[in-house]
Amino acid sequence: MDRRDEKRPGTEQGVPQWANMAAVQRRIAPELTERIVLRHNILRHVSDSQPIGRRALSQRIGQTERAVRREEGVLREAGLITVDPDGIRLARDGEDILWGLAEYVRLLIGTGELENLLELEFGVDQAVVVAGDSDLDDAVKREIARSGAAQLRDVISDGDVVAVTGGTTMAALAAEALPLRGTRDVVVVPARGGLGEDVEKQADTVAASLAKRLGGSYRLLNLPDDLGRESAASVREEPRIKQVIDTIRRARVVVHGVGTALEMARRRNLSESEIAHIQQLGAVGESFGFYFNSAGEVVYTTSSLGLRLAELSSVPTVICVGGGSSKARALEAVLRNGFSHIVVTDEGAAHGIKHESGR
């Protein structure tokens, strides 16, 4: 049985009860819901920027210092934060509770409706929508990365090959990954070559970082993604490269980000004429070097040594991770192609897709 047919995280028997509790709380104690959401917002910003001063924290979350001081006192008494001259930090209990609280806040603010929309609209097995807009709040970016890492950890099996793309989101996801329990012989590989960008964001670096965090091994391409067709064909036959490519094509799990067509064309150092051509073709989103129009059709492809689009259809689990209202159209275009099984995003992108789809 394909793992996509197995029970996904979040479908266990207890979830409907939690959802019902959240719905009841929203109706009978809306003020309590607001307070829980505020305290969660404080905790995740402290986690993202600790140590952080009260003034900086109040500016980040859009609250007065007086309001932050009041909530700070409650959270300190609960043993969730510590306060010293350097600023506010998460206590160990605060770190432990933050993830579970994020899940409950998703239920409280009703992101389940957006998750259902994405699942129905694009036929994905599971959608996870994080509260907030990562374009406006860096803490939301970290939460997307943390959620993506959790989804990845839940689907990895013994002996899997995991392929990852590069980019800021994937680098953050690798940093949030936790060691696997009882799983051995996991190999992490780059899904494609590197782009002309910071080394930390390149697929090779992300693969190595993720492997170390998971407790697995890795194989690297150590090649740019824009070699050109003739050079790529020549290099592909080099024994070491061929071995890595063969490993990449055995991937059982693929994790990828999403970029706008214009953003990714510039990251790939395409010429102005090529960029103009891509825009004329109606490309709005990019992933794996494939440029998609709003209908999810591939309208432009760059040469690469990595995974091909046709090969993704045989990968049991493909996880798409990315958010921000500015990427709503790009995310929609990539998801419409149908190769992703799980999507992790935020309210900013999900609301943008909802608006575009007219639902």
CATH number of the domain to which 26 belongs: 1.10.10.10
Q: Let me know if residue 168 belongs to a domain.
A: yes
Contact in structure between 40 and 353 (CB atoms under 8 Å): no
154 with 141, same domain: the answer is yes
Are residues 144 and 280 both part of a single domain? yes
Considering the domain boundaries, does residue 130 fall inside one? yes
User: Which DSSP string do the residues of 265-308 spell out, in sequence order?
Assistant: HHHTT--HHHHHHHHHTT--EEETTEEE-TTS-EEEE---SS--
Which amino acid appears at position 52 of this protein? I
Give dist(CA 195, CA 201) in Å, integer: 9
Question: What mean pLDDT value characterizes the chain?
Answer: 86
Q: Give the whole-angstrom CA distance, residue 113 versus residue 96.
A: 27
| Residues 242 and 96 reside in one and the same domain | no
Answer whether residue 6 is part of any domain: no
- Write out pLDDT tens, residues 198-253: 778 899 999 999 999 999 999 998 776 665 566 656 666 677 888 998 999 999 99
The tens digit of pLDDT for each residue in 180-190 reads 987 779 999 99
pLDDT surpasses 60 at 99: yes
Q: How far apart are CA 260 and CA 284, in angstroms?
A: 6
Q: Is residue 1 part of a domain?
A: no
Mean pLDDT of 136-148: 91
For residue 256, the SS3 value is strand
Query: What is the rounded CA–CA span in Å between residue 152 and residue 177?
Result: 8
Largest CA distance in the chain: 67
Is residue 185 located within the same domain as residue 309? yes
Which of residues 72, 107, 142 is at a domain's end?
A: 107
192 pLDDT higher than 90: no
The answer to whether the beta carbons of residues 148 and 124 sit under 8 Å apart is: no
Residue 11, exposed/middle/buried by CB under 10 A (0-12, 13-18, 19+)?
A: exposed
Same domain membership, residue 24 and residue 90: yes
The band of 48, judged by pLDDT with boundaries at 50, 70 and 90, is confident
Beta bridge partners of 259: 286
Average pLDDT of 9-24? 54
pLDDT tens digits, 156-181: 999 999 999 999 999 999 999 999 98
- The answer, yes or no, to whether residue 8 has pLDDT greater than 90, is no
Q: Does residue 7 form part of some domain?
A: no
Q: Which of 38-47, 122-131, 232-241 shows the lowest per-residue confidence on average (mean pLDDT)?
A: 232-241
Using CA atoms of 140, 146, 149, 150 in order, give the dihedral in degrees to the nearest 10: -120
Residue at 276 is within a domain: yes
Residues 102 and 250 in one domain: no
For residue 261, what are the CA distances in angstroms to 84, 149, 157, 266, 358?
Answer: 46, 25, 33, 9, 23
Rg of the chain over Cα atoms, rounded to whole angstroms, equals 21
Position 14 scores a pLDDT of 43
| Residue 15 scores a pLDDT above 90 | no
Q: Is residue 183 in a domain?
A: yes
Structural domain containing residue 53: 15-107
Tell me, yes or no, whether 275 and 340 share the same domain.
Answer: yes
**pLDDT above 90 covers what percent of the chain?**
59
Domain count, the chain: 2
Whether residue 324 is found in the same domain as residue 179: yes
Out of 107, 140, 158, pick the residue that ends a domain.
Answer: 107
Residue 285 pLDDT greater than 90, yes or no? yes
Q: Which of 81, 107, 133 is the last residue of a domain?
A: 107
